[in-house]
Structure 1
Amino acid sequence: MTTMRKSALVLAALGVCLSFSACASLGSKGKDGATTSANATVPEEESKIDFGNLFGGKKASKSSNAEQAGIGVNAYLWRASLDTISFMPLTSADPWGGVIITDWYANPQTPDEHFKVTIFILDSRLRADALNVAVQKEVRSGDRWVTADVSQQTQLDIENAILSRARELRLSDVKN
């Protein structure tokens, strides 16, 4: 698919979304759960639109735990990620997009270096390949911070800690 065609699809979808959001304030929910407007009554299930196939994505399964929890990614990976990096200040956490970004964190024992972590949860299933961790490191050089290399092992250790915690959370839910 060409870039121009993809851009046209994105613009068309954006236009549709804007149209629906503009119309959303006109409708209201009736006591039967239907969305009503001046012209029509539409059952709530029919008023939901799946844009996944428009962009070449797969249709989401309605039975996944993550969707039932109200987030767009695996709930165990999400909670485990937050638990694992709880000592770091958060800059952003998007449970629908599956992105967690921390602010810079300096270990008090090594104040001349600090780290920033970005976690991507890529799937609604609890799988090792549904998780990607990116770590940035900076070291102090005089009065400024300079980017430094982070070992691949550091990123793998964080991923493994998150996956272990996610398995613990899942097992505790199964037992209860």
Structure 2
Amino acid sequence: MTRKISVGGKILTGAVALLGATLVLSACDKTQAVFPDKDKGDSAPRMSNEKRETIFGPEGLFGKSKPEGEGVGIGVNAFLWRASLDTVSFMPITTADAFGGTIITDWYQLPETPSERYKVNVFILDRTLRADGVKVSLFKQVRDGSGAWVDVRVDPKMVVDLENSILTRARQLRVVSSEPTQ
């Protein structure tokens, strides 16, 4: 007798599950999918060129996406970017990311001092041409008595001179770009 109750319980559980699934699926019966009608000129919102209002306002969450007059397709100030590349162009560049504003060079030995080598990391921190918009990290190594490279402290004046060189070149590029063409 307990066996019949057990089988009946399974049947009852299955019937309840089937009834629940039927109710869920029947709730979807009255809905219709809405597709854009190309004949009427309708288009999906993601394809539209219309400006849409958002909860973040007309300028988005972080303000304007690009300041006026900035180059398209680059994430940092174009003058600082070009000046940084020009300034470290004599060194082998390992990584250059225009959107993140980073330039990383490989080690470089000056021909005059083969027992020293330098590595430079340039970080462009702003989309505007400002003195604090560029940061340089300079690394120096020298050979010890056994011929191995050893890290040594870099004179902070060298870092400042390199940053000033980049800023001077950026100002020159800005002046040249703003001159009228003849």
Match of 1:164 in 2: 168
- Which of 155, 158, 162 does residue 159 from structure 2 map onto? 155
Cα separation, partners in 2 of 1:150 and 1:175, compared to 1, 3 Å: same
Write the distance in 2 (CA, Å) between the matches of 1:59 and 1:150: 39
Structure 2: gaps spanning 5 or more residues: 1-42
* Contact residue 101 and residue 118 of structure 1 kept, 8 A: yes
- Which of 110, 134, 153 does residue 131 from structure 1 map onto? 134
Q: CA RMSD in A?
A: 2.2
1:46 CA drift (Å): 6.0
Q: Deviations over 1:7-35 (max 9, x none)?
A: xxxxxxxxxxxxxxxxxxxxxxxxxxxxx
* Contact residue 65 and residue 74 of structure 1 kept, 8 A: no
Report % sequence identity.
50
Q: What is the identity, as a one-letter code, of the residue corresponding to 1:117?
A: V
Write the distance in 2 (CA, Å) between the matches of 1:69 and 1:137: 36
- Which of 150, 173, 179 does residue 175 from structure 1 map onto? 179
What SS does the aligned partner of 1:92 have? Answer: strand
TM-score with structure 2 length normalisation? 0.66
2:136 pairs with 1:116: no
* Contact residue 73 and residue 96 of structure 1 kept, 8 A: yes
What SS does the aligned partner of 2:90 have? Answer: coil
Q: Which has the larger radius of gyration?
A: 2
TM-score with structure 1 length normalisation? 0.68
Cα separation, partners in 2 of 1:98 and 1:109, compared to 1, 3 Å: same
- Which of 90, 93, 105 does residue 93 from structure 2 map onto? 90
Q: What is the identity, as a one-letter code, of the residue corresponding to 2:86?
A: D
Q: Which has the higher strand share?
A: 1
Q: What is the identity, as a one-letter code, of the residue corresponding to 1:166?
A: A
How many residues align? The count is 131
Cα separation, partners in 2 of 1:147 and 1:123, compared to 1, 3 Å: same
2:66 pairs with 1:62: yes
Structure 1: gaps spanning 5 or more residues: 1-35
2:60 pairs with 1:75: no
What SS does the aligned partner of 2:136 have? Answer: strand
Q: What is the identity, as a one-letter code, of the residue corresponding to 1:90?
A: I
